[in-house]
Every structure is written in C-alpha cells, then in structure tokens.
Structure 1
Amino acid sequence: MIDNTAPRRDGSAPALPSAAPSPSDVRAERRRLIESIGALRRLLSKRRAFEVADQRRLNHEARRHNRVEATHDKALHRIHEEQARQEASLTHQLNALDGERERQETQALALLRRHSIERALSSTYLTASEVSGIGNGLIRSLAAQGIRTAADFHKVSWEKAPNGKGGDVLYIHRTKGGKVHINGIGEHRGRPLLEWRRAALTRAEARAPHKLPPDERHRIVEIIEAERVRLRAELAKAPQTAETARAEAVRLRTEALDLLTAATGEAARLAAVRRAEFDAMAEKLLDLQSQLSAHVDTYGDAGRRVRRAQNRALRPIPQASPLPGIPSPRTPGSATARVGFTKATDRTDPHPIPGVRASPGWLVPILYFCLTTVVGVGELGDNTAHPSMMIASRLVALAATAELLRLWLPRIRTRTAGPMPDGTGWQTSGVFLALTAAGMFEDEKSDVFGAACVVSVLAAVLFLAGTGSRIVEAEDHAGKNPTSRDGAAT
C-alpha cells in the first residue's frame, strides 16, 4: 500500500484530499463564472462599434490623403499653366519688338513734325497786308478774341446768329475750343482768312522735318534693346521661378503627408492596443467558458435557477472575419483569430472600401427590368405573347430587379460603399439578351428566328461566365477569410 503522506521530492508537504464542496458552494462558484462571462460579453459587445469606428477612421484618413494628393496635383498643374502662359507672353513680346523700332520711329517723326508745324503756325501772325479785305480794325477785333496767328483757329462755318435774328453769320472756330463771330467778317472776308491759314499750314508742312535726327534714332534703338534684354532675362528666369514654386508645392505636400502619417500612426497604435484588449478579453472568455463546462461536467446541474443563465453563458461566440485592411495584432493561430462579433458573410455582401462606390449607372438596367416586370416581352403593339412566356418573362425580370437592388443599394451607402461583385455585369447582360431573345421569338410579324437563336446562345454564355466569375470570387474570399464553425468547436 502506498503512503500518500510521504514527503515530495521538493520537500513540500503533500496535498491532503479535499472534501466535496457543498451545493451552495457549487451554486456560488457557478454564478461567479456565469457573471464573469456575462461581464466579458458586455465588454466584448462594444467591439463591433469599435471596428466600425476604426474603419470609418481609415476611410477618413484615405480621403484626407487623397485630398492632399489632389491639392498637390492641382498646384503642379497651375504652376505648369502659369509657366506656359508667361513664356508664351514673353515670346510674343520679343517677337513684337522686331517691328517696334519702325513703329516708334514713325510715332517720334509724327510728333516732331506736329511740333514743328505748331511752331511755324504760331509764328505766322495775321496782318492786314496778307489777307485781302481785312484791315487793321478787324485785326484788332480778332486779336481781342484770341486770334492773332494761324495756330489760333482751324476752320470757319456758317451758323445761326447768336440772338437768333438776322439769318446765318460766319463763325471762326478757335483751336483751343469755342467759336466766335466778328462783326464785319462775312463770306467775302472769311474765305480769304481760311485760305491764308491753309497756305500757312502748307508752308509749315513742307518745312517740317521728314527724317528723325540721328540722336533720336539712336535713343529709340537703345530703348528697344534694353526692353529686349529685360524680356529675355524674364524668359530665362521663368523656368527657375516655376521650379521654385514646384519645390514649395512638394514641401507643402511632404509636410501635410508627414502630419497625416504621424496622426495615422498614433491612431493605428491606439487601435491596435484596443484591439489587443478585445482579443485578450475574448481569450479570457473562452477560458471562462472552458472552466464553466468543466465545472458542469464535474458537479452536474446546480439547479433550475442557474440553468438558463448557464446555457446563455455557454452559447458559442459569433464568428466573423476581421474588417478589411485591419490586421489583428495577435499572432496567427491564437484563439482570438476565431473570435468576432458579426456573422460571417460571403463575397456578395458589401465590404467597405475607401473611395470606391457602386456606379449610379446600374440604375439603367434596374429601371429596364422594372419596366419589363410590368409590360413583359413580346407584348408591344398588336403582338400577343404566349401566357407561359408572359409569366416567365415577368418572373425573370422581377428576380433580376431584386438581385440588382440587393447588391447595389448597400454599395452606394457611405458606411458600406464598395464595388459591385465581379461577374454581375456579365450576368445582367445575359439576362437582358435572354429577355430580348424571348421577345424576338414571340414576334410574329418578322422572321428573326435565326437572330433570336444567336442572341439566346450569347445570353447563355454571358450568364454562365458571370456566374462562374462570382463563384470563383466567392471561393477566393472564403479561402482568404475562413470562418469558423471549426474554430468555435475548438
């Protein structure tokens, strides 16, 4: 017989056989385990909200990153356009300088001739000996009105008298503005006066210079060359200015991305810590469930009152794959890889992807199938389809409408935005061609049987290809995200 009271090898005292716990102790321990499991379940119930918020954070960070890149691209495009516009403007101004010398010489010569003519007319005084019929008295009257030289007036005209009586009188128009009437100067004296001025103007124009002085021409050449040098310097500086602006745009982009990266890294670190806490709680929950199962196996039923709570505590944890783009901080193969808080889904369920949303163009086939559900195929005009075709076409169109709405509506929402499953377009095209072929078969007025057969074959090929693509994609997704009836069992 073996003596159980013999000392152990490490020198410690042997454990004495413990007495069986009382039923009250069993129930208390059972309640403690159930309450601990319930508390952990309540804590773990917040994980889904945390994952959704973290996915929303990732989407927001992706949008901010896209905005930074878009702003950088717009800045580069604006700099390129400004450089091209400035270079084109400077090149145009340089090309225009080739004819600028002739233009400025023409303007300078015209100005020089005008000044010369004005000086000649201003030095041609009106005297009684030069104008026939005008004596010294009229000369004094004209001088009193400011008309002393040929430069003081430029024309004469017949108009109404100032008081409105006596008919038309002769007015002399002054160069500085205004017109005057001199008593005693009518048509016989006004015409010689105007001819005298014209003769003085002809002499002044003949004596005016017809060429620019050499110093004036040299001054114009210097001005044009200085302008040419300035424009060439600005044209050579334009690429440097653009490059400086590009460097500044790159610096701003780098600073913005650095800030975004720092904020993203800190948020990702905090999210990983929080996710690790949830994983640890899930491991502890599994351990407590194991302890509860062992307690039930050891001591049996603890009473009707705790039986329902015990069954709720032992129910399996819902399994789910992690949200896309969020790796678990735990090591592969740990118990937390099997723990989640949403139901497993196949590839046809929407998975949010930042910046990707189902196209609004899917409304076109949806509306077409809705219309076909109402009117059928092969029933337009005087044509009447077979009753079985009427029912079958409407059922097919209704099923296509429901399937497209099931796939499309979640993928246009912000939280569940994502692309349509691969192969959906092929399936939609196949159903569309199948309904078209059915309408062609039911058409009694035209012979399109051969074309309808071809369309039918094409519809079958497209539908089968789309179905195969969706099956392959669903299998790939299931392989990448295995869910876990097996995991729950382990």
Structure 2
Amino acid sequence: MIDSTTPQRDGPTPIPPATVPFPSEVRAERRRLIESIRALRRLLDKRRSFELADQRRLNREARDRNRAEAARGKALQRIHERQARQAASLTRQLNGLDGKRDSQEKRALAVLRRESIERTLNSTYLTSSDVNGVGKGLIRDLAAQGIRTAADFKRVSWGKAPNGKGGDVLYIHRTKGGKVHVNGIGEHRGRPLLEWRQSALARAEARAPRELPPDERHRIAEIIEAERKRLHQELEETPRTAEAACVEVAQVHTEALDRLAATHREAADRAAERRAEFDTTAEQLLDLQAQLSTHIDEYGGAGRRIRRAQARALRPVPEMPPLPSIPSPRTPADTVAPVSLTKRTDRTDALPAPGVRAGLGWLVPIVFLGLTSILGVGEPDATAPAWFRVGTRLVALAITAELLRLWVPRRRWRTAGPMPSGIGPLTTGAFFALVAASMLADTDPNDGAGWAASVVSLVLLVLGTTLRMRKRTED
C-alpha cells in the first residue's frame, strides 16, 4: 500500500539547491572578472610609453657610440697632423744645417775679429807724438776724462757749450757712453785725434784674423754633427711616437665602447624583463577573458547594469608589438636581427685615412671666382652684351659652387683628403677663359693677348680633363 502523501518521482531528478549559485553570487563573480580585466588593461596601456622610452634609450646609446667614434677620429686626425708638422719641421732643420754651420762660422769669426780689434785698440795708448798739436797736458786732461787708448772713444761732434755760454764746442763721445769736452781741443786738435783713432782701427782690422782657427772650425763641425744626429733620431722617433699615441687612443676608445656596451647590456636586460612582464600580463588578460566568456556561456546575462562593462572587457587585446629594432623576449633568438648602435648612413665606402687635408690656398680661387660671379670679369662699361655679362657670371658661380663642393668636405676630419687630381689645371684654365672672354669682349680688344689667353685656357682645360679621366680610370 502506497501512502498518498509520498511524492511521486516519475519526472527528472531536480538539481540540488546547493549546486546552483544565487544571482548575486553570479554578478559578484562577473564584476570580479571585469575589474581584474580592467586592471590588466591599465597595466598594458603603459606598454607603448615603455617602448617609446626604450627606443629613445637605444637612440641615446647610438649617439654615444657615434660620439665615441667621432672623438677617436678627431684624436687620430690630430695625431697625424702633428706627426706631419713635426716631420716637416725636422726635415727643414736637417736641410738647413749646412747653412747653419756657415752662419755659425761667420758669427764666430766676427766675434774673434771683434775681440782682436778690441784688444788691439785697448793696447794702443794715446801719446803726444801720435797726434799733432796734442801735448802732454792735453794727454793728462783726456786721461782724467777716461780717454787713454783708441778704444775709449769712437767719434767727435760739435755742440753747445756745457755752461750754455759761448759758441759750439767739440765733444768727444766715449765708447762706454756719454760725451766730454776737454778745454783746448777744438777743430784743429779734434780732427787729428779722430784721424789717429781711425788709423788705429784700420791697423787693428788689418791685423785681425780673417779665417777661423782649425780647432774652432772643428768645434763648430762637431756641434753641427751632434745636431744632425739628434734631428735624425727625432725624425726616426716621430712615427713610433705617433703609433704609440694611436695605440693609446685605440685603448681609450675600446674602454669607452666597453663601458657603453656594459651599460647597454644592463639597460637591455631590464627592458627585456619589463617586456616579459607585459607579455605575461597580456597572457593573463587573455585567460581572464576566456574565464569571463565561459562564465557568460554557463550562467547567461547578469543584468543590464554590467552588460556594457562585460562587453568592454571582452574587447580584443590590442596587439602591441615591439617598436622597430627592439626584439621581444618571446621571439626566438635566431629570428631576431641584432641591434646595431652605429648610426646608419648611405655610405658604403670606407672613410679615408686622416692626416691630409685640402690646403687653405684654394680659398684664393674660390674668393676670386665668387667676386667674379658678382662683379663680372671686368666688362668695359656697358659695351658687352647682356647675355655675355649674365653668362660669365653664371659660369663663375658654377665653378665657385663646384670648388666649394670639393673643398669643404676635404677640410673636415671625417672626410679629409687632398683635392682631386686635375682640379688645379681646370680651375686655372677657367680663370684664363674668363680673362680671355673679358679681353675679346672689349670694343678695342688686344687680339694677341686675348687669343693667347684663350690658347692657354684650352691647354689647361684639356690637361685637367685628361688628369681627371685618368684618375677615374685608375680608381
């Protein structure tokens, strides 16, 4: 017998109430997922600013490396220029040693003659028998004024009396400075006194040696030979000194690059860690979006209030690949091109060896042709046609621009080098061509000079063009 109060179980078995979450629990879980997704999106929004900052870091490192290369190039340029100047100076000194020996011998002979003349004059005493009209009393007066020998005075002259009274008196100029007047010595006694001194000087000069003694010549030759050896040693030492300086510059450059590389590795490691964190955050965001999608599929909507929030949360994750030249830590190492810190340029040729620059003398034709492009080639008044005046100015301007294009880079340390072969004859030929055009454009031209300048211009232009073509063929 079946109790009528017992429920019949002929339908499906209902789900126990404890396994079905309440709507409030569904909404709470939904909000938790949405808030987590929002937080991860805010973290991922910082990735672009990080990538831009990392790109700026790489640019700074590239600039630092380029500056290190520039400092190395400038240092090498200075070393080569200093070596060239020292070698040229030593070579000039070596070439001038023979002339230096001759000049030293002449100076030594002059000193020897001067000393001999001074000794002779100092030993030539003034006596009453040597000068007519000068007695022993005047001899004593002259000695009292310091005039005893021919070396004590050098000339006589007329001047006002010491007391300012009377006429002019004769003064005797002493060798050590100053002038004196001795009473009783006037024109008649001063002239014989000066003639006696001149004759003593002539005898002293005649007795003075006219050649250096052998020992003195040998001493000067030894000095010159020692100087020659020293200059040769310095000239041989110059390349070794320059090489040692280049080695030191290379060592400093290597140390600077090592420091830059160490700093770059540390910064790159930190950037890789930061980039890995962003990648992990993106993966977590995808996992949370998958959980949110599963939750929506399992429990359906949770109300209109969070419908828009969950739609925004389920938006696709924006792909933010690393900026150019920055590898991602998740990218295989064999597929990533190495990042170079060297500034990329369009140059494919190697920089020329420093040490030779285009000379400053090229400023002369550049300035002359620049003024010609403004003032013309000296057309007489307005007799030359307008097309001639305009054409010559344009030609001068074109030549000036071409010379500047060739000369300016060859003055810089990075691209230092001599002017190309054939530019000198071409520039000179252009100059003679302008001069010939100015002569032939005159109303009363000097045909001989104009045509001569034209022929010289043509020869120089052909020569310069031939040298240019030969140089290009050899290159």
Shared fold (TM-score, shorter chain, > 0.5): yes
Q: Which amino acid aligns with 1:250?
A: A
Residue 349 of structure 1 corresponds to which residue in structure 2? none
Displacement, 1:321?
4.0
- The answer to whether the 8 Å contact 2:147/2:174 transfers is yes
Give CA deviations for 1:25-56 in whole Å, capped at 9, x if unaligned. 21111011101101111111221221111111
Displacement, 1:188?
0.5
Residue 231 of structure 1 corresponds to which residue in structure 2? 231
Residue 116 of structure 1 corresponds to which residue in structure 2? 116
Q: Which amino acid aligns with 2:310?
A: Q
Residue 85 of structure 2 corresponds to which residue in structure 1? 85
Give CA deviations for 1:137-181 in whole Å, capped at 9, x if unaligned. 111111111100000000000111122221211110000111111
2:274 counterpart of 1:263 = no
Q: Which amino acid aligns with 1:263?
A: T
Displacement, 1:320?
4.1
Once residues 220 and 314 of structure 2 are traced to their aligned partners in structure 1, the CA distance between those partners, rounded to angstroms, is: 102
Q: What is the DSSP-based 3-state SS (H/G/I as helix, E as strand, rest coil) of the residue aligned with 2:86?
A: helix
Give CA deviations for 1:257-305 in whole Å, capped at 9, x if unaligned. 0111011011101100110110110111112112112211221210122
Once residues 316 and 356 of structure 1 are traced to their aligned partners in structure 2, the CA distance between those partners, rounded to angstroms, is: 37
Once residues 167 and 307 of structure 1 are traced to their aligned partners in structure 2, the CA distance between those partners, rounded to angstroms, is: 134
- The answer to whether the 8 Å contact 1:105/1:220 transfers is yes
Once residues 264 and 229 of structure 1 are traced to their aligned partners in structure 2, the CA distance between those partners, rounded to angstroms, is: 52
2:127 counterpart of 1:127 = yes
| TM-score, normalised via structure 2 length | 0.66
Once residues 355 and 173 of structure 1 are traced to their aligned partners in structure 2, the CA distance between those partners, rounded to angstroms, is: 80
Q: What is the DSSP-based 3-state SS (H/G/I as helix, E as strand, rest coil) of the residue aligned with 1:155?
A: strand
Residue 466 of structure 1 corresponds to which residue in structure 2? none
- The answer to whether the 8 Å contact 1:44/1:282 transfers is yes
- The answer to whether the 8 Å contact 1:169/1:186 transfers is yes
Displacement, 1:19?
2.3
Alignment of 1:89-168 (within 5 A): 89-168=89-168
Alignment of 1:279-358 (within 5 A): 279-331=279-331
- The answer to whether the 8 Å contact 1:124/1:150 transfers is yes
Distance 1:117 1:185, change over 3 A: same
Q: Which amino acid aligns with 2:22?
A: S
Once residues 160 and 18 of structure 1 are traced to their aligned partners in structure 2, the CA distance between those partners, rounded to angstroms, is: 146
Distance 1:233 1:116, change over 3 A: same
Distance 1:240 1:355, change over 3 A: closer
- The answer to whether the 8 Å contact 1:59/1:354 transfers is no
Once residues 220 and 343 of structure 2 are traced to their aligned partners in structure 1, the CA distance between those partners, rounded to angstroms, is: 63
Once residues 72 and 277 of structure 2 are traced to their aligned partners in structure 1, the CA distance between those partners, rounded to angstroms, is: 39
Q: What is the DSSP-based 3-state SS (H/G/I as helix, E as strand, rest coil) of the residue aligned with 1:158?
A: strand
Displacement, 1:102?
1.5
Residue 440 of structure 1 corresponds to which residue in structure 2? none
Displacement, 1:354?
8.8
Distance 1:329 1:18, change over 3 A: farther
Q: Which amino acid aligns with 1:308?
A: R
Q: What is the DSSP-based 3-state SS (H/G/I as helix, E as strand, rest coil) of the residue aligned with 2:221?
A: helix
Q: Which amino acid aligns with 1:221?
A: A
- The answer to whether the 8 Å contact 2:153/2:173 transfers is yes
Distance 1:100 1:331, change over 3 A: closer
| TM-score, normalised via structure 1 length | 0.64
Q: What is the DSSP-based 3-state SS (H/G/I as helix, E as strand, rest coil) of the residue aligned with 2:96?
A: helix
Give CA deviations for 1:46-95 in whole Å, capped at 9, x if unaligned. 21221111111111111111111111111111110111111111111000
Alignment of 1:357-436 (within 5 A): none
Once residues 247 and 321 of structure 2 are traced to their aligned partners in structure 1, the CA distance between those partners, rounded to angstroms, is: 44
Alignment of 1:167-206 (within 5 A): 167-206=167-206
Q: Which amino acid aligns with 1:131?
A: V
Residue 471 of structure 2 corresponds to which residue in structure 1? none
Q: Which moved more, 1:28-37 or 1:294-303?
A: 294-303
Q: What is the DSSP-based 3-state SS (H/G/I as helix, E as strand, rest coil) of the residue aligned with 2:169?
A: strand
Q: Which amino acid aligns with 1:69?
A: E
Give CA deviations for 1:439-459 in whole Å, capped at 9, x if unaligned. xxxxxxxxxxxxxxxxxxxxx
Alignment of 1:243-262 (within 5 A): 243-262=243-262
Q: What is the DSSP-based 3-state SS (H/G/I as helix, E as strand, rest coil) of the residue aligned with 2:154?
A: strand
Distance 1:17 1:267, change over 3 A: farther
Q: Which moved more, 1:29-38 or 1:288-297?
A: 288-297
| C-alpha RMSD of the superposition | 1.9
2:219 counterpart of 1:219 = yes
Displacement, 1:317?
2.7
- The answer to whether the 8 Å contact 2:172/2:181 transfers is yes
Displacement, 1:331?
3.4
5+ unaligned residues in a row in structure 2: which ranges? 1-15, 333-340, 346-475
- The answer to whether the 8 Å contact 2:65/2:342 transfers is no
5+ unaligned residues in a row in structure 1: which ranges? 1-15, 333-352, 358-490
Displacement, 1:17?
12
Q: How many residues align?
A: 322
Once residues 104 and 240 of structure 2 are traced to their aligned partners in structure 1, the CA distance between those partners, rounded to angstroms, is: 33
Alignment of 1:30-45 (within 5 A): 30-45=30-45
- The answer to whether the 8 Å contact 1:75/1:249 transfers is yes
Displacement, 1:189?
0.6
Once residues 18 and 232 of structure 2 are traced to their aligned partners in structure 1, the CA distance between those partners, rounded to angstroms, is: 104
Give CA deviations for 1:353-383 in whole Å, capped at 9, x if unaligned. 99689xxxxxxxxxxxxxxxxxxxxxxxxxx
- The answer to whether the 8 Å contact 1:125/1:150 transfers is yes
Once residues 259 and 72 of structure 1 are traced to their aligned partners in structure 2, the CA distance between those partners, rounded to angstroms, is: 15
Relative contact order (C-alpha < 8 Å, sep 6+): which is higher?
2
Distance 1:331 1:112, change over 3 A: closer
Q: Which amino acid aligns with 1:138?
A: L
Percent identity, aligned pairs only, is 72
Q: What is the DSSP-based 3-state SS (H/G/I as helix, E as strand, rest coil) of the residue aligned with 1:210?
A: coil
Displacement, 1:100?
1.8
Displacement, 1:322?
2.2
- The answer to whether the 8 Å contact 1:62/1:354 transfers is yes
Q: Which amino acid aligns with 1:73?
A: G
Once residues 52 and 146 of structure 1 are traced to their aligned partners in structure 2, the CA distance between those partners, rounded to angstroms, is: 96
Distance 1:354 1:78, change over 3 A: closer
Once residues 354 and 36 of structure 1 are traced to their aligned partners in structure 2, the CA distance between those partners, rounded to angstroms, is: 43
Q: Which amino acid aligns with 1:261?
A: A
Displacement, 1:104?
1.1
Once residues 17 and 232 of structure 1 are traced to their aligned partners in structure 2, the CA distance between those partners, rounded to angstroms, is: 110
- The answer to whether the 8 Å contact 1:120/1:204 transfers is yes
Once residues 18 and 191 of structure 1 are traced to their aligned partners in structure 2, the CA distance between those partners, rounded to angstroms, is: 153
